[in-house]
Structure formats: C-alpha cells, structure tokens
Structure 1
Amino acid sequence: MAMETTPSIPILYEDNHVLAVVKPPGIPSQEDDSGDPDMLTLLKQDIKARYNKPGNVFLGLVHRLDRPVGGAMVFAKTSKAASRLSEAVRSRSFGKTYICVVHGTPRTPRAQLKHYIRKDSGRNQVTVFDKPAADAKDAVLDYETIAVNGRYSLLAVKLHTGRPHQIRAQMAHIGCPLAGDRKYGHASAEAAMDVALWSTSVTIPHPVTKERLTFRSVPEGKPWEWWSGEQLEQAASFYIAQNK
C-alpha cells in the first residue's frame, strides 16, 4: 500500500537516498514558465514538513515525465545519489516502461522503433526522422500490442533512450498517435482527456546498495477504463516479465 504525501502524490518507496512516487498527470516535473506547482517543489515542501527539516531540502531530478503524463517517477534525496542515478540514465541501466493507448493498430504487433528526433525548444515540439539528420538524436523503443478495442489499441512500451516526447512522436510517426495527444495526434473527440501515456515502471540500480529496484504504477480512469484490469496488468508487467 502506497503512503501519501498529499492525496495526489502517492509514495511508492522512500529511503535516505531515493524517493519514488506516482506523478499525477498535469503537474510539471520541474518549475516552468506556467508558474504552476511542480513535482520538485511539492515534494521538497512535503519532505520539509514530514521530517521537520530546517533550511533548504535537497531533491534531485534525474529523469522527467511530460506534463500530461502520469506514473512512476524517481528522485534522488542526496547529491551523491543524484550523480549516480544520472549516470545510470546515461549508461542506459535506468529502465523505463510505459503503457499507452493509440489510435488504430500498429501494422506490426511487436517491433523495435529506431528513429532520430530533433527538438524545437521554441515550439516545445519534436520532429522525427527515419535517417540521421542534423541535430537529431537517436530514439529507440520497443512496443508490444496487448489488446485492441474498436478504434484503439493498448500497447506496452519499453524505452531504450529518453528523448523529449519520444513515445508520443514515434507512435504518431508510424501512424498511431496517442489518444488525447493534441500536440502529435488528432484529439478533437478527446479534448477533455489527458494524453494516454503512463509510466508503469522505473527500474534503477540503488545508488548505494546497487540492488536493482523496480517501482510500479498502474493507472485508473479514462481512457484506462476502456480495458480490463487484467489487460492493464498484462501491459504494465509485460516488459518486466520479459526481463526476468
């Protein structure tokens, strides 16, 4: 059972070095131009209050989730942990799996997508290329089609790289944009819905003990309610099971 910092940010795991939580959709990972409350600030405030800490609280952001995306997210509670977890991200020993709902059904039920992504920071949008392009970085993910429900499909996704908007942009590039994604898709009929993407697990080497830890989260509500609990669990655990 997850503890809670506030009703909206459940804690999945916490020790002296690591804090794993469930990020709610709609909250920025860190402070941005909107001025809205962000995960880093909210969690620092919570740690300060729960432990009655004087002065500033350290909390390191080692990976991000897009603002509309929810699910498992890990923070570092010390500078040493932040450095080691950031290195795990760079060396790709920091595992991330997701589930998403896409329009249509991918032509190939299971595949690895390899593209190149260039970010336009001014527009906060990325462009996907099939071949190397100037200022574009490699983007690699695996996906598995778990279930099909009318016009939509439920996919399990494993990221090998962590590029901006990677899953959203790559799935749109193959003709299967995410439901609710107004940036890369066609979401007029889903205007009130969050982007149908959820961080179902983060696997890290613990920064001190080196033990491999996996933190999991399965979403609720729309559009996830379009699928049975068994289908969601199958999608959320698919790539974890493959790694065993």
Structure 2
Amino acid sequence: MKKHLLWLVALFTSSLFAATDAEIVEHFKSTIQVPNITIEVVSRQKVDGIDGMDFVTLNLSDGKRSQKLSIFTKEDLIFPDVISIKQGGSIKDMMEMAELQKKLSPLYQKEDKKNIVALGNDPKKDTLVVFTDPECPYCRQELAQIEQRLTTHNLRLIFTPVHERSSLEKSVLIYNETSKVKSDAEKIKILKKYYDESVKYDQKISDKEVAHIDELKAKYFGAGIKGVPFIVREKELLK
C-alpha cells in the first residue's frame, strides 16, 4: 500500500474533475490499485484568504493499515500543497498543525501534572510543550541546547518514547526523580543523566510503570503526533 501512496503526487497533476467528496473518493479508488481499499473524506474546510479553495483530508485503509492524506481542491483542480509567500511556507503544514493542535488541546488541558516536567516559570516568556524520548538522537540534540532555550522560553516536557523498553524505563526514572527536586538546574541534571547514551541504572522499573508511559505515548500519538521531538506552543493547546 505504501508504494502506491507514494505515486499520488504524480497522479494529482494528471486528472481534472469536479471535486465533490464523492468524485474525489472515486478518483482515488480508480487510481490506487490496492485490493479492498476504502477511502473516505474525514474533513473539509475552506482555506482562509483563497476564494473557492478547500482543504480536504482523506483516510485510506486496506483493512490492516490506514493512512491520512491531505489535499487542496479549487474548481476542477487538485493540489498536493499550496505555498504561501505571504505566510512564509506550506499552507498544508499550517493547516495540519492547526488540526493536530485541536486534537492535542483537550488531552493536554486534562493532563496530570505528574506527567509534565516543568522548566521555567516566567510569565513574560512563551511556553513550549515538548514531546520527547530519552533515547531519540534528535531529542538529545534538543536537550543539548536546553539552557539556551530557557533564556527565551519556559518548557513543559512530556515523555512519549518511541524506542524500546529502556526508553520507557528512563522516562519513568526522569518523572520520579524530577518530582523530588525544585530547581531547574537540578531537573536539567537529571535529564542530562538519562539522555546520555552511556547511562546505566540499577533501579527496577515495574511493568505497571512502563505501561503508564506506553499509555501516555499511545494517547498523544493517537491524536496525531508522528514523531519526537515534537514542539508546540502551550498557548495553542490552552485555547
């Protein structure tokens, strides 16, 4: 299925049709040669500032796997993306982020404070929510500049590890140990300890504790997060 989905961008420019929901679905069914595929329009909204253009999200499934696909349509045309010079980038990325923030918002607002490592408390600074994994190499790069980041932002870390059990265990230990200290410096020291590739620990982590982190990850990835580190402004989640 993945191979066929990669061909979609090429197909976008080869067909013109009246872009009703039904016709969009029928078009993709006829061009994706995957047995038993189901395609449905899951959302459709107007694009601000572009008259007559809609942003459409489809769900494609073969019964075992599913994939979301977002497109733009205007009159009898369809586009994989629209770049706005005025807004400085991909409208698709902006709209997908807006949709994701809507899904994350109620989860974050109800989140137990025990599942959030708070760094910085300056009301004059924006606060960033960081979804992270102690074994992710890109998360390690992000952590390496944490002191610099704190000069401009407050941070709220939520652990959603994508690696093996050891990454979930390290997340448990970080939550446990940071909950016992107060200063940012002490919390950062704990973070750096467990983000270190060479770290070793003797503490026994129960299956229940590991399952809690796994559930935390599943909750946010289920809402649409695709990887770590994932960073979003807290004010967007508090709307």
| Normalised-by-shorter TM-score class | under 0.3
Name the structure where helix makes up a greater proportion of residues.
Answer: 2
Q: Larger C-alpha radius of gyration, 1 or 2? A: 2
TM-score when scaled to structure 1? 0.26
Name the structure where strand makes up a greater proportion of residues.
Answer: 1
